[in-house]
Structure 1
Amino acid sequence: MPLFRFSTKPTTKVISSRTMSNPADIQKAYDTTVPKLKDALAADKAKYDCFSCRLIGATTFIGLGGFTYYTGHAQLRQSEAIILKSGSKMGMAPRRGAITIMSIAMAAIGAYRLVN
């Protein structure tokens, strides 16, 4: 006895509780239109981008910017003597600038997230 029993009868697709045997009707039932990108993004934003989500995201990035600034400069102050003694071409000013720019960028991303 076979494990699977295959039917030899032709099957038709049942859509909307009626049987369609006309190929044109079947094609119409399966036709889908792809929405425009702007429409899809607007629908997603309205559904998934609520104010509380934006507020949490903005607060996270602004906090990350502050944390980066505070801890980055604290670590530079701790290791300033070692860095200056090493004689590297990159002194303290570029390092401080890089940390400041990184923290400003994080805070700006947070502000952008809140507004947009």
Structure 2
Amino acid sequence: MPPPKESSPWDMQPQDVKQALAKEGYDDCMACRVTGSAAFIGLGVYSYITGMKNLRKQEKIIMQSPTKYKMGSRQLGIATISAALVGMGIWRAFN
């Protein structure tokens, strides 16, 4: 009879992994949640502030340009991206 083989985490089969995850569950630590949500919320606030500041700085050039995307649509784009990032941060904090 051969000697028993030592098992390592690398020897797990996909079924074993699924069973182990189902049994243990997965939950982030509080520090991970706080860091992740703060990063997303901070990025959303930063992108809003700097985006609007840059738009105000370039307003004259934008209004004179022949493009159909004037200040309103650009402000909406910046606000949408910022709101999405803040929303991701809030979602990250609670899920």
Q: Does the alignment reach a TM-score above 0.5?
A: yes
Deviations 1:11-64 (A, max 9, x none): x631079xxxxxxxxxxxx99671475862673623xx1011001000000000
| TM-score normalised per structure 2 | 0.80
Give the deviation of 1:65 after TM superposition.
0.3
1:70 aligns with 2:59: no
Matched, 1:100 2:79: yes
Instruction: Give unpaired runs (5+ residues) of structure 2.
Output: none
Task: Find 1:113's aligned residue among 84, 92, 95.
Answer: 92
Residues 84 and 15 (structure 1), Cα distance of their counterparts in 2 relative to 1, 3 Å cut: same
**Identity fraction in percent:** 31
User: Aligned-pair RMSD on alpha carbons?
Assistant: 2.9
Q: Mark the structure with the bigger radius of gyration.
A: 1
Matched positions, count: 91
For structure 1, list consecutive stretches of 5 or more residues without a partner in the other structure.
1-11, 18-29
Provide the rounded CA distance (Å) in 2 between the counterparts of 1:42 and 1:92: 53
More helix by percentage: 2
Answer 1 or 2: higher relative contact order, Cα 8 Å, separation at least 6. 2
